[in-house]
Each structure stands twice: as C-alpha cells, then as structure tokens.
Amino acid sequence: MPSPFSEEHQQFRKTVRRFCEVELAPHASEWERDELFPNWVFKRAGDLGILGAHYPADVGGAGGDYWFSVAKAEELPRCAAGGVSMGLLVQSDMATPVINDIGTKEQKEEFLAPALRGEKIVALGVSEPNAGSDVAGIQTVARRDGDDYVINGSKTFITNGTRADFVTLLVKTSPEMGARGCSFFLVPTTTKGFHVARKLKKIGNHSSDTAELHFEEMRVPKRYLLGEENMGFMYLMQNFQSE
C-alpha cells in the first residue's frame, strides 16, 4: 500500500521532531516535577505552524490534509512528556475542530484563529464528576434568559483547564431530551460565574494541568452558542471520529 505521506508531510514531520527533541525534551523532567509546562509551548507550536497545519488557510491554518495531524501525533512523544503531548493535542485536535466545522465567521476569528496561533489556550469541557464522558448523563444545564444562556454545573478531568482562555463546553439545553438535548458553547474563562474548582492530582501525564471546573449562574451570550441548539450530541460524535 502506498504511503499517505508526501514530501511536504515529511518536511512537516521534521519540524515537529526538531521542536520536540530540541526545545521540549530537555525540560521534560522539570515540567513533570512541576506538574505544568509553560504557556510559551503553545505559542511556539503555533508560530511553527504545528497547531494549524491541517486547518484551512482562511482560519489561520496551512490548508493541509489530516495526514499532517497524524504526522504530528507520531512525533510529539519525542518531547518525552506525555502531558505536553496531551495539552497540545487537546488544543489542536479535540477542542478546536468543532469550531472549524460549525462555527460562525465571527466565532472562528475570536476563538479558533488565536488558538491555532497558540495565543489563546483552549480546553474541551465534556466529562463530569457524576457522568464521566457519558453524554446522556451530563448534568450541566443551560437555561435561556433573553439573549443569554445561564449555565450551572461542573466538569472534571479537563486538560488545560487551569489556564485555558476559553472552553468548548457541552451542556444540556433541553434536559428532558437526554443526549439529544445537548448544545455546545464557547465560554471565555473570564466569564462571571466560571471557576476553576481545583487542579487534580494524577498518576501520570503530570506536566499536563487537569482541572475540575464549576459554573454558577454563568451568563453566556447567545452569540457564543456553537452551531444549532440541541445538536451538540451529533457534533460531539463527529468530533470523536478524528479524536
């Protein structure tokens, strides 16, 4: 079977490999000890085109195909810290694809483009203390109030959660519909009512910050609804394919 990787893919692979071996790996032990890697890693990955290689040019990517992301994922372990790989992959392949797929032009400009440049750090908010990643069981709820949604609930095991600039957040907008009553929102972490409840201790991936988040009467404007209301389950399942 012919290789899916072209010469362009292989040049990109070399960029990721050098970044990992020269700029990241020498710090791996320190970052594992400190249970955090510095924010400049996101910015540097963005500057090198690593985060946006497989995104369209009109959102700040390089216009490449998904094999660029595969090459990236194959090379990232060379940074010698699993938590760094995890944080970067959440940034580029878990919390942002759904914005590219269904976001408005304004949402892409405000959230996606700076995330691909590494200027804004993003987390994906799905898992919950009482439900794990069982979407049907999530209990975080958004109620409509005029031109806003008011969100209450919690999320846990959230990678990049202690320092994210925004969260791609899945909540229930129609709890009576079960999993089919979910919606996605883009939530800046400066929003009143957003709280990092605690940083979680883990048995591995120490350099990745993992948080429990809490939302108390958190008011989010309608313009931050991602896609259509009550279509979040379908969007999430589509997102899971690439994850």
* Residues annotated as catalytic (active site), given as ranges: 243
Whole-number Å distance between alpha carbons of 100 and 72: 19
Helix (H, G, I), strand (E, B) or coil at 206: coil
- Residues 6+ away with beta carbon under 8 Å from 165: 120, 121, 122, 188, 189
Q: Give the N- to C-terminal CA distance of the chain in Å, as an integer.
A: 24
113: which 2 tokens? 């483009």
Helix (H, G, I), strand (E, B) or coil at 218: strand
**CB atoms near residue 188 (< 10 Å):** 15
- Residues 6+ away with beta carbon under 8 Å from 142: 149, 150, 151, 171, 172, 173, 183, 185, 220
Per DSSP bridges, beta strands 166-172 and 122-125 are parallel
150: which 2 tokens? 């008011």
